[in-house]
């Protein structure tokens, strides 16, 4: 299955790159694993939380995704302060120090033209600091922190990523829905991703419904929702900033 299909079908598969959790030390969470920059947005703010009991030193990495090629991720070049930025995704800051039971805001923004839709993964990885790694710690502070995490039994630090969808400046939405006997087919014939939010698949009795899900349908892709015999399907179709209810 290629990346485009994965993005349409599941939320977690492309974003979670480490599921090992720790009971002590830093423990970060990032909320939603998908973010969308609509055509009228230039930036968004994302909170990164530290639910652990020590400072979290978080490294931020940005990768560009080619949804038509399996496992295709290209690191985005790190810019120097004096360099001009254009036609690329920017994330700031690239190093975060988050105190226990607190959060820091990560700012994600786009500068330049947006002729076609683009896809990125932003990874937030807690690390053990070292000399000259951008966190500004001296050797004693680094040693103290490492000793503290080792004594706490922390061997693996769990990091998470979020997929950022940058929609084009002039999106053209053309979503076609076809009802089959036992399914609904959502075909995206436009040039920007559409989202099926709060998908509910219910049996004949409306009280017997599966847990709500969400699906991202990329341009040129099709997503199928299967019915339960004699039941119903409902969801909200989001096209850019517009949302409309769908019931079958």
Position 186 scores a pLDDT of 97
Instruction: Return phi, psi of residue 145, to 5°.
Output: -65, -45
Q: How many CB atoms lie within 10 A of CB 4?
A: 21
Higher pLDDT, 227 or 91: 91
Query: Which one of 139, 166, 193 terminates a domain?
Result: 166
Average pLDDT over residues 53-81: 80
Instruction: Kindly state whether residues 8 and 44 are assigned to the same domain.
Output: yes
User: By percentage, how much of the chain surpasses pLDDT 70?
Assistant: 81
The first and second tokens of residue 152, run together, are 């706490």
Query: Which one of 126, 148, 166 terminates a domain?
Result: 166
**Long-range interactions of 92-96: CB distance < 8 A, separation 24+:** 93/60, 94/59, 94/60, 94/134, 95/57, 95/58, 95/59, 95/60, 95/133, 95/134, 95/135, 96/48, 96/56, 96/57, 96/58, 96/60, 96/124
Average pLDDT over residues 107-111: 92
Query: Which one of 145, 166, 187 terminates a domain?
Result: 166
Instruction: Kindly state whether residues 117 and 229 are assigned to the same domain.
Output: no
pLDDT tens string 198-224: 999 988 766 788 888 999 999 999 999
Calpha distance 219→182 (Å, rounded): 24
Average pLDDT over residues 83-100: 84
Instruction: Kindly state whether residues 124 and 229 are assigned to the same domain.
Output: no
Structural domain total, the chain = 2
Residue 74 pLDDT exceeds 90: no
Position 189 scores a pLDDT of 97
Average pLDDT over residues 43-52: 95
Could you tell me the pTM of the whole model?
Answer: 0.81
Position 88 scores a pLDDT of 81
Calpha distance 128→125 (Å, rounded): 10
Domain range for 190 is 175-247
Average pLDDT over residues 109-126: 92
Instruction: Kindly state whether residues 113 and 136 are assigned to the same domain.
Output: yes
Q: What is the overall mean pLDDT for the chain? A: 84
Instruction: Kindly state whether residues 128 and 197 are assigned to the same domain.
Output: no
Position 148 scores a pLDDT of 77
| Helix/strand/coil for 168 | coil
Higher pLDDT, 5 or 226: 226
Residue (of 88, 90, 98, 133) closest to 28 by Cα position: 98
Residue 67 — pLDDT band, cuts 50, 70, 90? confident
């Amino acid at each position: 299955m290629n990346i485009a299909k994965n993005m349409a079908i599941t939320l977690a598969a492309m974003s979670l790159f480490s599921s090992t959790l720790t009971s002590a030390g830093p423990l970060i969470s990032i909320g939603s694993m998908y973010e969308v920059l609509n055509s009228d947005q230039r930036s968004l703010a994302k909170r990164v939380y530290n639910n652990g009991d020590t400072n979290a030193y978080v490294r931020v990495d940005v990768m560009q995704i080619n949804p038509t090629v399996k496992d295709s991720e290209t690191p985005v070049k790190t810019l120097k302060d004096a360099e001009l930025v254009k036609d690329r995704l920017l994330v700031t800051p690239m190093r975060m120090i988050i105190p226990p039971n607190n959060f820091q805001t990560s700012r994600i923004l786009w500068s330049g033209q947006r002729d076609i839709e683009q896809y990125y993964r932003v990874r937030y990885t807690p690390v053990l600091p070292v000399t000259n790694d951008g966190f500004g710690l001296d050797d004693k502070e680094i040693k103290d922190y490492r000793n503290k995490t080792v004594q706490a039994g922390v061997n693996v630090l769990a990091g998470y990523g979020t997929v950022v969808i940058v929609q084009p400046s002039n999106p053209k939405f053309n979503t076609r829905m076809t009802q089959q006997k036992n399914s609904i087919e959502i075909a995206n014939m436009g040039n920007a991703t559409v989202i099926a939010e709060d998908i509910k698949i219910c049996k004949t009795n409306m009280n017997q419904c599966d847990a709500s899900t969400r699906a991202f349908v990329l341009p040129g892709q099709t997503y199928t929702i299967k019915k339960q015999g004699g039941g119903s399907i409902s969801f909200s179709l989001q096209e850019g900033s517009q949302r409309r209810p769908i019931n079958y």
